[in-house]
Amino acid sequence: MGGCDEPYRTIVLMHAGKMATLIVQKYGGTSVGSTDRILRVAERVMQTYKEGHRLVVVVSAMGGETDRLVHLAHDLSKRPALREMDMLLSTGEQVTAALLAIALEARDIPVRSFTGQQAGILTDDTHTHARIQSIAVQQLQETLATGIIPIVAGFQGTDAQSNITTLGRGGSDLTAVAIASALHADYCDIYTDVDGVYTADPNIVPAARKIIKISYEAMLEMASLGAKVLQSRSVEFAMKHRVPVRVRSSFHDEEGTWVTTEEPHMEREMVSAITSDKNQAKVTLIGVPDRHGIAARIFNAIAEEHLLVDMIIQNVGQGGLTDLSFTVSKTDALQAKEILMRFSQEMGIHHIEVTPDIAKVSIVGVGMRSHTGVAAKMFECLAGEGINIMMIATSEIKISCVIDAKYTELAVRVLHAGFGLSAEAETVSPQQAV
């Protein structure tokens, strides 16, 4: 494999300068879901520490804790104040950070827990969906310098007025990646309940294999296409700041998947993975007058209610009328229909139809950029099984097709085989991957 010598040389130089590797480890909710599991995480942190690495640990709330708190809030208000939700939910991660610190101190490992604020994480003031603006790393750096492991409560920060904020879904991943970037860590390990990113969901495709290394771009597409391993925002952040990220299981020692910059040898694979997403519904407007500005009006009305539209297709019009279809998340479909019903008569739309039983099946791969005929091959695979394609969307590195939901698993399997993804995996050592 090309370029292997380069990373090894770096490692040797680092040892010569007595600079231990700095790793950020992030443990998700299922990994810290009980005190037994927290003890297992403590063992893993201990092991990394005893191997001579410097590390920062970022934790999520214990599995179920955030839901418990949300329920309490909803007992009191249908629309809880967002600032107060942040005050409430941030306690979940704080509890885990304290508990993990307690477990490690009891094992004579020098640790100190940090709230988001104590870790210097400054965000904007968009409560429940705050964006990290900067990290004042002095506290963390001083702690590391004295040989102490900081255990940071993920998912949270404070705004300029010291109000507690939270970062939204998957926020702890973002905390970990942002800290890794701010501290110039060597890499960031995201520990979760799966052992890496797969070429397809192993529950659907038994022959699916773990991807050893994937580019930020492909991972980003996968995250937005329904692969739930990493949240889009943290991948985006890692990509922007070039933080090597590894996704691995907290339950065993397998290598996991490296998410990192695209390298020459990665281009060999035209398609990296197949994803599927059954969480969408199709809304079709039949007999829409083929007039300038109609589509804009429709999608403005939808956007005003904060519904997220994914794919859109418009048929070629006949006799001044056309059909328009779009997809939204299943939970939003009826609301979208209601919004459109309000002015369907005025606009002369004949009929609005909601199709909930659809699935989006996608192929993702940075290799597509330099290959032609990828789309044709995808359609061919699906057609070969008699699967009708309702909608198509493409980007530089992905192609998505909306199909009847009942064909989801069949489609994923046929594409997985068709693009040759069931072949043997290569193995890459962590040093090579970084």
Site residues (CB under 8 A) for its own copies? 35, 38-39, 42, 69, 72-73, 75-81, 83-85, 87-88, 90-91, 94-95, 97-99, 101-103, 105-106, 112-113, 115, 117-118, 162-164
CB-nearer residue toward its own copies: 93 or 195? 93
Shortest distance, position 75 Cβ to its own copies, whole Å: 4
Shortest distance, position 162 Cβ to its own copies, whole Å: 6
Contact 59, 27 (CB under 8 A): yes
> In sequence order, what DSSP letters do the residues of 358-424 get, joined into one string?
EEEEEEE-GGGGG-SSHHHHHHHHHHHTTPPP-EEEEETTEEEEEEEGGGHHHHHHHHHHHTTTTSP
Shortest distance, position 58 Cβ to its own copies, whole Å: 15
**Tokens found for residue 240:** 């922007």
CB-nearer residue toward its own copies: 118 or 257? 118
What is the DSSP-derived secondary structure letter of residue 353?
A: E
CB-nearer residue toward its own copies: 34 or 47? 34
Shortest distance, position 186 Cβ to its own copies, whole Å: 27
Shortest distance, position 228 Cβ to its own copies, whole Å: 28
**Could you give the C-alpha distances from 60 to 24, 83, 197, 420, in angstroms and in order?**
14, 20, 20, 37
**Tokens found for residue 146:** 């004295």
CB-nearer residue toward its own copies: 108 or 396? 108
CB-nearer residue toward its own copies: 91 or 314? 91
CB-nearer residue toward its own copies: 32 or 271? 32
Long-range contacts of 220-225 (CB under 8 A, 24+ apart): 221/362, 221/364, 221/395, 221/397, 221/398, 222/197, 222/272, 222/273, 222/275, 222/364, 225/275, 225/277, 225/360, 225/362, 225/364, 225/398, 225/400
CB-nearer residue toward its own copies: 84 or 404? 84
Shortest distance, position 74 Cβ to its own copies, whole Å: 9
Q: Burial code of 22-45, b = ≥16 C-beta within 10 A, e = fewer?
A: bbbbbbbbbbbbeeebbebbbebb
Shortest distance, position 157 Cβ to its own copies, whole Å: 14
**H/E element holding 201?**
none
CB-nearer residue toward its own copies: 166 or 325? 166
CB-nearer residue toward its own copies: 76 or 316? 76
Which residues have CB under 8 Å from 276's CB, separation 6+?
A: 201, 204, 226, 359, 360, 361, 362, 408, 409, 411, 412
Shortest distance, position 360 Cβ to its own copies, whole Å: 36
Sheet holding 121-123, edge to edge: 132-135, 121-123, 156-158, 164-166
Contact 277, 201 (CB under 8 A): no
CA distance 245 to 251: 18
Shortest distance, position 304 Cβ to its own copies, whole Å: 24
